[in-house]
Homo-oligomer: A and B are copies of this chain.
């Protein structure tokens, strides 16, 4: 596989690039996470979002525990070559580990972050813990 496209990316000093996941159809922004070179290569190869977990320091196959995988429909790179935009189908309709549809559920209202999106499934049910 030709990997020039991976070299076109301006990786951070840590070898990462931010990746925004947007839902096909609804256009909702689901989350932003990070990818290293291997994660991005595998995302394209496998047709599903695979991130790099900075906290666990390992590949994070989105949905590996919950089943809520993200199926890749499109992938874009920005003008500066340092941000990725994924268009994905969110299996299960839940992108956030809190059990919500997406991670951007805190809205600024009167100088306070207010939760405005419902929990669809409790995390205990999502992760079977």
Contacts and interface: CB of A to CB of B under 8 A. Distances in A.
A85 to B, nearest CB: 4
A38 to B, nearest CB: 16
A117 to B, nearest CB: 9
A92 B45 CA distance: 38
A54 B30 CA distance: 26
Contacts of A5: 108, 111-113
A2 interface: yes
A103 B82 CA distance: 11
A78 interface: yes
A83 B27 CA distance: 18
A107 B87 CA distance: 11
14 contacts: A3-B111, A4-B112, A20-B29, A22-B29, A31-B78, A32-B32, A32-B83, A44-B108, A76-B105, A76-B106, A79-B97, A79-B103, A79-B106, A83-B103
